[in-house]
Amino acid sequence: RALGERIESSEFRKDLYYRLNVLDLPLPSLAERRSDIPLLVHHFLKSGDHDIYVEPVVWKALEQHEFEGNVRELKNMTDYMKTVSDGKTIQLYDTPPALREQIEKKKPKDKKTASTSLTLMEKEEFAFLLDAIKQLNEKGEPASRRVLSELSKNGKSELTPQQVRSRLDYLEKREFITKGRGRAGTKITLEGLRFLSSLKHHIIQD
């Protein structure tokens, strides 16, 4: 509460205010000191002697966020990213859904530009998932999060079921896959096949 205003309106005792007001320490909001964000995130991510690498695109997204909840919001966001990541690297798709939605609103809506805005690791993960879904579809086998997570253990980057889910949400939102219940399972779309081809092309170039 703004006690100064409450004193003026006689809702708070002036003598009590000055008795309590021993140390007046104005703290700027996190939005006013964005350069502190990396320092705070690294502090919250500390886990023994192991440091988690944060992709540059994640730093950019965090620095553009308003953080109306100040440091507490950043702490909660960091805890979320630490939980859903692989414990080694935090990528854009490990960030909370609300932050990803803000980022997507600022991106061009043209699906053809999607593959050019991803990091090499993200391209490889999406290419793996789409390729795995395509092969499972062709065999008539279910492409569940658990199955895709198990298959990823044989690839370059092992994905947890939670990570698979966040990446499938990204692909579904762009109509590269469709997710159905039960036997219907996850299916790759025609747009998804085109995106897969585009990803493979960009991976070779990178």
pLDDT given for residue 147 in this prediction = 92
Total domain count for the chain?
A: 2
If asked whether residues 165 and 194 sit together in one domain, one would say yes
Helix %, strand %, coil % of the chain (to 5)? 65, 5, 30
- Measure the CA–CA gap between 67 and 34, rounded to whole angstroms: 10
- At residue 182, the 3 state secondary structure works out as helix
Q: Indicate whether 85 belongs to any domain.
A: yes
If asked whether residues 119 and 88 sit together in one domain, one would say no
pLDDT given for residue 68 in this prediction = 92
Q: Indicate whether 176 belongs to any domain.
A: yes
CATH of the domain at 118: 1.10.10.10
Last residue of one domain, picked from the residues 106, 137, 167: 106
pLDDT given for residue 36 in this prediction = 93
pLDDT given for residue 57 in this prediction = 82
If asked whether residues 116 and 57 sit together in one domain, one would say no
If asked whether residues 90 and 121 sit together in one domain, one would say no
The domain in which residue 67 lies consists of 30-106
pLDDT given for residue 160 in this prediction = 92
Q: Indicate whether 143 belongs to any domain.
A: yes
Tokens in use for 95?
Answer: 């960030």
Last residue of one domain, picked from the residues 75, 106, 137: 106
Q: Indicate whether 194 belongs to any domain.
A: yes
- Measure the CA–CA gap between 2 and 156, rounded to whole angstroms: 54
Q: Which residues of the chain have pLDDT under 50?
A: 112
If asked whether residues 93 and 115 sit together in one domain, one would say no
pLDDT given for residue 181 in this prediction = 67
- Measure the CA–CA gap between 43 and 39, rounded to whole angstroms: 6
Q: Residue 135's Cα: distance from chain center in Å? A: 27
pLDDT given for residue 204 in this prediction = 80
With helix as H, strand as E and coil as C, how does 115-149 read?
HHHCCHHHHHHHHHHHHHHHHHHHHCCCCCHHHHH
Last residue of one domain, picked from the residues 72, 87, 106: 106
